[in-house]
Structure 1
């Protein structure tokens, strides 16, 4: 389905929980907001119903997010229900990888095809600092397990923060030498207090690219993807750059977001959202009409460049 600006909206990110087992400095450094219960989270049946309506409106790709989605005890049921919906072409997940080693096999069996893993440092102590207590080995073991299962390409998401982890850029790129991995560098966004208060720690991806002449540009195959990809000569994997601060890619945005408490948020950098949970008991045709209207009304672009302050922290939206 096309929105009012002619963009084909076909990708939905579903946050299944606000809970998280880490306390990342750019998300929720004190961890208080990540301790919430799942009482307000959409049930597997509710998620399935909303997703079916979204598919009727043109959604084809689903990404499961959190918080940390692997904290949901019924995560495999959620994936299985969504994966069986006719019209879904791709279903993947973003996770911090802490529980991935033991769960990857079950996730694949449930219908999950690919996994993105947050990885902001390759140094154990720094990783522990950035994540508020994370164990780097557990995340790396999870990455290896997904590769063993053939859930490729495995995508690594790294939020770069000046003075904290920008000394590891080349080490992270090196992960792509012998593995089918896509390492993606993400510019720090003003989401939550850390991002809003530390705009001076934003690193523009253009500077990273200019400093590395060995990077070879890869023609875009997915116009809706926010990442621009490069590759080092002879390397197996790719390096992606997601640049919401220096390069607004809203004109090609093809996504909407469903929060764990039942709100549809058409734009990450815009506070507008609709409570779709309240409409779940409507007749299917009425419910579908509301969904279609939400897609049509998706805003033109984000407000990150206008002293934007989000009403929700990142873990409450799902990225």
Structure 2
């Protein structure tokens, strides 16, 4: 296997690929998809599992070792555990994880664990059924909690709870979510909204810095580390039994340490959530490219990765939704 590393023009090593397997989702979160959105891709536009495995193998040969399956909602893609098993067996794939809304997780948790997925990120923006339904567009909190308990029973670790904090909507529940995560041994991650698409631009943004300070003082939290390749900055209790991460793309961006790129379900490689430059790997694959050709195209694409996003300077720049980019 090649020992060549994948590095952008600013010296950042690319080690992490977030891989969308579908743009479809069974929820309509207010900060992600419009309630009446129907402009989804046709399935034949998605990368096939063979194409996905080939792309992942090339990235792995370039030194990328962390891979996350995302969507849309990835568990709406048929036989996702089968794809996970293929990917986890590839040389160089050291870490395979999954982001999910957990509505279907109870059914698939066992098979996903058997397939080689070890870590989960689960969206949970409220513990109040009516409020949760208002945020995600569907009364399904019981399904999500059942999925979480099934995953806990299967031994996934860590299980990270992603809470998008919405000013005036769910910010009064942060302490309740903290207590829930402490009870079950979950890692909490609080996330600022990003202006992606019309929904993200209208979301109730809240600066997380005061919340971080309050939680740090209340629980005596110290700087900490949690397994994973993402951008969260973590605090932990002194006994390390509870960790909370803060993903703050607006108030304190983390662009200088960005180590990731995203591949959409239809094979578009995005180097940054806050830019439109991209590379169409699906067209390259379907034109009969060799693995060497694909490697060269990926290297060329990485040169497009910007120094930083400009969400503050141009908040209306990105019109695609998060589900179209890949979680």
Q: TM-score, normalised by structure 1?
A: 0.94
Structure 2 Cα separation of the partners of residues 224 and 84 of structure 1: 20
Asked whether the 8 Å contact 1:24–1:131 carries over to 2, the reply is yes
State the Cα distance separating 1:127 from its structure 2 match. 0.5
Structure 2 Cα separation of the partners of residues 41 and 223 of structure 1: 27
The partner residue of 1:128 within 108, 128, 133 is 133
State the Cα distance separating 1:295 from its structure 2 match. 2.2
Structure 2 Cα separation of the partners of residues 202 and 124 of structure 1: 22
Asked whether the 8 Å contact 1:176–1:239 carries over to 2, the reply is no
Name the counterpart of 1:96. 101
Asked whether the 8 Å contact 2:130–2:139 carries over to 1, the reply is no
Asked whether the 8 Å contact 1:20–1:34 carries over to 2, the reply is no
The partner residue of 2:218 within 201, 214, 231 is 214
Name the counterpart of 1:202. 205
State the Cα distance separating 1:224 from its structure 2 match. 5.3
Asked whether the 8 Å contact 2:66–2:229 carries over to 1, the reply is no
Structure 2 Cα separation of the partners of residues 300 and 35 of structure 1: 31
Of 267-276 and 300-309, deviating more is: 300-309
1:222/1:234 CA distance change after superposition, 3 Å: closer
Name the counterpart of 1:315. 323
Name the counterpart of 2:3. none
Of 275-284 and 250-259, deviating more is: 275-284
Structure 1 Cα separation of the partners of residues 146 and 169 of structure 2: 24
Structure 1 Cα separation of the partners of residues 159 and 150 of structure 2: 10
State the Cα distance separating 1:222 from its structure 2 match. 6.8
Structure 2 Cα separation of the partners of residues 173 and 133 of structure 1: 23
Query: What stretches of structure 1 of length at least 5 have no aligned partner?
Result: none
Name the counterpart of 2:311. 304
Name the SS for the 1:193 alignment partner.
helix
Structure 2 Cα separation of the partners of residues 34 and 160 of structure 1: 27
Query: What stretches of structure 2 of length at least 5 have no aligned partner?
Result: 1-5
The partner residue of 1:159 within 161, 164, 182 is 164
Whether 1:236 and 2:241 are equivalent positions in the alignment is: yes
Asked whether the 8 Å contact 2:65–2:93 carries over to 1, the reply is yes
Once the two structures are superposed, residues 254-273 of structure 1 have per-residue CA deviations (whole angstroms, 9 ceiling, x without a partner) of 00000001100011111111
Name the counterpart of 1:226. 231
CA RMSD of aligned residues (A): 1.7
Structure 2 Cα separation of the partners of residues 55 and 235 of structure 1: 32
1:34/1:237 CA distance change after superposition, 3 Å: farther
State the Cα distance separating 1:307 from its structure 2 match. 2.1
State the Cα distance separating 1:207 from its structure 2 match. 1.0
State the Cα distance separating 1:311 from its structure 2 match. 3.4
Structure 2 Cα separation of the partners of residues 318 and 217 of structure 1: 32
The partner residue of 2:290 within 258, 279, 283 is 283
1:144/1:315 CA distance change after superposition, 3 Å: same
Once the two structures are superposed, residues 226-279 of structure 1 have per-residue CA deviations (whole angstroms, 9 ceiling, x without a partner) of 111123456723111110000110000000000001100011111111101111
Structure 2 Cα separation of the partners of residues 221 and 155 of structure 1: 10
State the Cα distance separating 1:220 from its structure 2 match. 4.0
Alignment of 1:1-319 (within 5 A): 1-33=6-38, 36-198=41-203, 201-212=204-215, 213-215=217-219, 216-220=221-225, 225-232=230-237, 236-280=241-285, 281-308=288-315, 309-319=317-327
Of 157-166 and 279-288, deviating more is: 279-288
Structure 1 Cα separation of the partners of residues 139 and 44 of structure 2: 26
